[in-house]
Amino acid sequence: MELAIVSRRAALLCPIAAMAGLSSTLLAQMPSATKEPTFEVSVVRVSKPDVQSSNLNLREDRLLAQNLTLQYLLQFAYKLSSGSDDQIVGGPKWMKSTRFDLEGKMDAETAAKVGKMKNDERLEALRRMLKALLADRFQLKVHQETRILPVVRMQAIGETKLVKFEIPAEGSTDPKSWQGLRNDGHGHIEGRGADLKMLASVLAVQPEIGGRLVVDQTGLPEHGRFTFELKWTPEGLGGTQTDSDASGMSLFAAMQEELGIKLTAGKGPVDVLVIDGVAMPDEN
């Protein structure tokens, strides 16, 4: 399954991991905000059972979610890894199974204010607005803790092979002018203007990682944007792929050879979100 996360300035195509990752500022306040932006109108409904696709669209004046679980919405809102459920503790089983269609619409003043923000600031504002919506419609109450969990560490080996991203000119028609991260699910990840938290989140959903959280310990800038391409032979496929489909290497070997980043399994402190209270929403 693939989600499309689209903003006014960038198009991001990724699995259920989009723009997520670990953060030591899980509940940080938006800087210099005098009035917290909120959605003026919200609509929440249980998805129809015959819907196959899932997506999250960020438009100029609204957020649209289709066929998504509350678990995923929390992962997006709180910038958690979607490759593991370990970062969300507690809550009823329906959080992971019941899917919802959701819409949050801003008033004109808020939309104009958010629209003037830089892309990263805009995403942070939308995440905070989604938190408020979930608290209102799902009666959600949470708190943060730090726990020791199984992790896979991303560690740089000397100088990495990641290339610093150059922002394309305004109005560029170059097919490579997209920004974000693409994962076709067959041993291929490509990033353009992607940060390492995005890469960590996509790596976390790969079967080779075994459901562990992936933690960035490369020492590279937290908000650095890079261009890279990673190809490997997915676990269990052996030699069934052609050379054009994969490199023939395992994920762990390809990360080291192609990106200069070593993956090491272990345990470490991780921020987790503990569910103190939640309820099925009234539909409208």
Residue 91 vs residue 244, higher pLDDT: 91
What local confidence, expressed as pLDDT, does residue 236 receive? Answer: 62
The verdict on pTM exceeding 0.85 is no
- Say if CB 17 and CB 206 are below 8 A apart: no
Task: Average the pLDDT over 60-68 and give the result.
Answer: 93
Model confidence at 158, pLDDT cuts 50, 70, 90, reads: confident
Amino acid at 243: D
Q: How many residues belong to the chain?
A: 284
Would the pLDDT of 32 be above 60? no
pLDDT of residue 20: 40
Top pLDDT among 118 and 154 is at 154
More confident residue, 253 or 35: 253
Closest CA to 231 of 216, 252, 245: 245
120 vs 263 pLDDT, higher one: 263
**Residue boundaries of the structural domains of the chain:** 3-140, 148-269
pLDDT tens, position by position, 160-194: 889 888 776 666 566 666 778 888 778 999 999 88
Residue range 93-148, pLDDT digits in tens: 999 999 999 999 999 999 999 989 887 788 899 999 999 999 999 999 999 999 99
H/E/C letters for each residue in the chain? CCEEEECCCCEEEECCCCCCCCCCCCCCCCCCCCCCCCCCEEEEEECCCCCCCCEEEECCCEEEEEEEEHHHHHHHHCCCCCCCCCCEECCCCHHHHCEEEEEEECCHHHHHHHHCCCHHHHHHHHHHHHHHHHHHHCCCEEEEEEEEEEEEEEEECCCCCCEECCCCCCCCCCCCCCCEEEECCCCEEEEEEECHHHHHHHHHCCHHHCCCEEEECCCCCCCCCEEEEEECCCCCCCCCCCCCCCCCCCHHHHHHHHHCEEEEEEEEEEEEEEEEECCCCCCC
Of 25-34, 82-91, 173-182, 254-263, highest mean pLDDT: 254-263
Looking at residue 180, its pLDDT comes to: 83
Mean pLDDT of 216-223: 87
**Distance linking the first and last C-alpha atoms of the chain:** 27
**pLDDT tier, 43 (very low <50, low <70, confident <90, very high otherwise):** very high
